[in-house]
Structure 1
Amino acid sequence: MTRTASRKPRRPAADLPDVAPKKLPTQSRAVETYERILATAAELLGEVGIERLSTNLVCRRLGLSPPALYQYFPNKYAILHELGQRLMQRQNELLGPWATPATMALPEAEFAASVAEVFLQTLRVTQEMPGGAWITRALRAVPSLQEVRNQSHDQMTELLMQVFHAAHPAAEPVRARLSVRLYIDALYTALELLFDDPSQPAEAVAATMADMVAGHFVRVRAT
Structure 2
Amino acid sequence: MSLSDIQANPRNAPLKPALEPKRAPLQPRAVETYERILAACAELLGEVGIERLSTNLVCQRAGISPPALYQYFPNKYAILHELSLRLMQQQNRLLQPWAVPATMALPEAEFTHSMAALFLQMQQLTAEMPAGVWVTRAQRAVPALQPQRLRSREVLGEMVLAPFLVAHPRVDAARAQLTIRLAIDALYSAHELLFDEPALDPQAVAQTMAEMVAGQLARLCRAG
TM-score relative to the length of structure 1: 0.92
- AA matched with 1:167: A
1:97 aligned counterpart, secondary structure: coil
- Structure 2 distance, partners of 1:63, 1:101, is 49
Corresponding residue for 1:7? none
Corresponding residue for 1:4? none
Structure 2: segments with no counterpart, 5+ residues:
1-11
Corresponding residue for 1:170? 170
Equivalent pairs counted in the alignment come to 212
- Structure 2 distance, partners of 1:31, 1:194, is 34
Larger Rg: 2
Corresponding residue for 2:147? 147
- Structure 2 distance, partners of 1:119, 1:13, is 39
Corresponding residue for 2:124? 124
User: Is 1:194–1:200's contact at 8 Å kept on the other side of the alignment?
Assistant: yes
TM-score relative to the length of structure 2: 0.92
* Per-residue deviation, 1:15: 3.2
Corresponding residue for 2:55? 55
Corresponding residue for 1:90? 90
User: Is 1:46–1:130's contact at 8 Å kept on the other side of the alignment?
Assistant: no
- Structure 2 distance, partners of 1:158, 1:91, is 14
- Structure 1 distance, partners of 2:25, 2:62, is 18
Q: Deviations over 1:144-178 (max 9, x none)?
A: 10122211111111111110111011110000000
- Structure 2 distance, partners of 1:119, 1:94, is 10
Corresponding residue for 1:219? 219
Change (3 A) 1:52 1:175: same
Matched, 1:45 2:45: yes
- AA matched with 2:104: M
* Per-residue deviation, 1:201: 0.8
Corresponding residue for 2:3? none
Question: Root-mean-square deviation (CA), in Å?
Answer: 1.3
Corresponding residue for 1:35? 35
Corresponding residue for 2:7? none
Greater RCO structure (CA 8 Å; 6+ sep): 1
When structure 1 is superposed on structure 2, of 145-154 and 163-172 the one drifting more is: 145-154
Return structure 1 stretches of 4+ with deviation > 3 angstroms: 12-15
- AA matched with 1:146: Q
User: Is 1:88–1:149's contact at 8 Å kept on the other side of the alignment?
Assistant: no
